[in-house]
Structure 1
Amino acid sequence: MNVIEEAITDENLVTFESFGLRKEIMQSINHAGFKTPSPIQQMVIPVIMEGRDVVGQAHTGT
Protein backbone atom coordinates (compact mmCIF):
# COMPACT_ATOMS: atom_id res chain seq x y z
CA MET A 1 0.00 0.00 0.00
CA ASN A 2 1.41 3.42 -0.92
CA VAL A 3 1.21 6.67 1.06
CA ILE A 4 -1.94 7.86 -0.71
CA GLU A 5 -3.71 4.55 -0.22
CA GLU A 6 -2.78 4.55 3.46
CA ALA A 7 -4.09 8.09 3.94
CA ILE A 8 -7.36 7.35 2.20
CA THR A 9 -9.04 4.32 3.74
CA ASP A 10 -12.63 3.44 4.58
CA GLU A 11 -12.02 4.53 8.17
CA ASN A 12 -11.05 8.00 6.92
CA LEU A 13 -13.81 8.31 4.30
CA VAL A 14 -13.63 11.86 3.03
CA THR A 15 -16.63 13.52 1.42
CA PHE A 16 -16.93 16.81 -0.41
CA GLU A 17 -19.12 17.96 2.49
CA SER A 18 -16.26 17.39 4.94
CA PHE A 19 -14.25 20.18 3.25
CA GLY A 20 -16.75 22.86 4.25
CA LEU A 21 -17.15 24.10 0.68
CA ARG A 22 -19.54 26.95 -0.11
CA LYS A 23 -23.16 26.05 -0.81
CA GLU A 24 -22.87 27.07 -4.48
CA ILE A 25 -19.87 24.82 -5.02
CA MET A 26 -21.58 21.90 -3.31
CA GLN A 27 -24.65 22.39 -5.51
CA SER A 28 -22.45 22.21 -8.61
CA ILE A 29 -20.64 19.11 -7.35
CA ASN A 30 -23.94 17.40 -6.62
CA HIS A 31 -25.43 18.49 -9.96
CA ALA A 32 -22.41 17.03 -11.77
CA GLY A 33 -23.05 13.73 -9.96
CA PHE A 34 -19.78 13.49 -8.04
CA LYS A 35 -20.13 11.45 -4.85
CA THR A 36 -16.67 11.33 -3.31
CA PRO A 37 -13.45 13.22 -4.03
CA SER A 38 -10.66 11.47 -5.87
CA PRO A 39 -7.41 10.81 -4.02
CA ILE A 40 -5.72 13.90 -5.51
CA GLN A 41 -8.76 16.05 -4.61
CA GLN A 42 -8.69 14.72 -1.04
CA MET A 43 -5.08 15.76 -0.72
CA VAL A 44 -5.15 19.18 -2.40
CA ILE A 45 -8.54 20.73 -1.59
CA PRO A 46 -7.62 21.39 2.06
CA VAL A 47 -4.29 22.94 0.97
CA ILE A 48 -6.02 25.14 -1.62
CA MET A 49 -8.58 26.24 0.97
CA GLU A 50 -5.69 27.43 3.14
CA GLY A 51 -4.80 29.77 0.28
CA ARG A 52 -1.63 27.92 -0.63
CA ASP A 53 -0.50 27.13 -4.17
CA VAL A 54 -0.59 23.52 -5.31
CA VAL A 55 1.04 21.56 -8.10
CA GLY A 56 -0.24 18.00 -8.24
CA GLN A 57 -0.14 15.05 -10.57
CA ALA A 58 -2.88 12.45 -10.70
CA HIS A 59 -2.95 9.11 -12.49
CA THR A 60 -4.73 10.83 -15.38
CA GLY A 61 -1.64 12.96 -15.89
CA THR A 62 -3.31 16.21 -14.86
Structure 2
Amino acid sequence: MAKKTVKVQLFRSPIGAQPKHRASVKGLGLTKMNQVRELEDTPAVRGMINKVHYLVRVVEG
Protein backbone atom coordinates (compact mmCIF):
# COMPACT_ATOMS: atom_id res chain seq x y z
CA MET A 1 0.00 0.00 0.00
CA ALA A 2 1.37 3.38 -1.01
CA LYS A 3 1.87 6.04 1.63
CA LYS A 4 -0.32 9.11 1.45
CA THR A 5 1.40 12.26 0.27
CA VAL A 6 0.53 15.92 0.12
CA LYS A 7 1.93 18.50 -2.33
CA VAL A 8 2.73 21.90 -0.83
CA GLN A 9 3.61 25.08 -2.74
CA LEU A 10 5.20 28.22 -1.29
CA PHE A 11 3.28 31.09 -2.89
CA ARG A 12 4.11 34.02 -0.56
CA SER A 13 7.49 35.15 0.69
CA PRO A 14 8.26 34.33 4.33
CA ILE A 15 10.46 37.45 4.65
CA GLY A 16 7.98 39.38 6.81
CA ALA A 17 6.76 36.33 8.72
CA GLN A 18 7.55 35.46 12.32
CA PRO A 19 10.81 33.55 12.88
CA LYS A 20 8.95 30.40 14.00
CA HIS A 21 6.85 30.50 10.85
CA ARG A 22 9.96 30.89 8.70
CA ALA A 23 11.40 27.85 10.45
CA SER A 24 8.25 25.86 9.65
CA VAL A 25 8.54 26.79 5.96
CA LYS A 26 12.17 25.66 5.99
CA GLY A 27 11.15 22.48 7.82
CA LEU A 28 8.72 21.72 5.00
CA GLY A 29 11.69 21.96 2.63
CA LEU A 30 10.47 25.07 0.83
CA THR A 31 13.21 27.56 0.00
CA LYS A 32 12.11 29.31 -3.21
CA MET A 33 8.91 30.98 -4.35
CA ASN A 34 6.46 28.70 -6.23
CA GLN A 35 8.49 25.64 -5.25
CA VAL A 36 6.41 22.49 -4.82
CA ARG A 37 7.35 19.65 -2.47
CA GLU A 38 5.64 16.29 -2.14
CA LEU A 39 5.68 15.27 1.52
CA GLU A 40 4.36 12.34 3.51
CA ASP A 41 0.94 13.14 4.98
CA THR A 42 1.65 12.96 8.72
CA PRO A 43 0.20 14.93 11.65
CA ALA A 44 3.52 16.78 12.03
CA VAL A 45 3.51 17.93 8.40
CA ARG A 46 -0.17 18.88 8.62
CA GLY A 47 0.59 20.93 11.73
CA MET A 48 3.36 22.85 9.97
CA ILE A 49 1.06 23.49 7.00
CA ASN A 50 -1.68 24.78 9.31
CA LYS A 51 0.78 27.05 11.09
CA VAL A 52 1.86 28.78 7.87
CA HIS A 53 -1.41 28.43 5.94
CA TYR A 54 -1.13 32.04 4.74
CA LEU A 55 2.22 31.32 3.02
CA VAL A 56 1.61 27.91 1.42
CA ARG A 57 -0.97 26.16 -0.73
CA VAL A 58 -1.85 22.50 -0.84
CA VAL A 59 -1.92 21.66 -4.56
CA GLU A 60 -3.99 18.87 -6.04
CA GLY A 61 -2.69 16.15 -8.31
* TM-score, normalized by the shorter chain, greater than 0.5: no
Higher relative contact order (CA 8 A, sep 6+): 2
More strand by percentage: 2
Q: Which one has the largest radius of gyration? A: 1
Q: Give the structure with the larger helix fraction.
A: 1
- TM-score after normalising by structure 2: 0.32
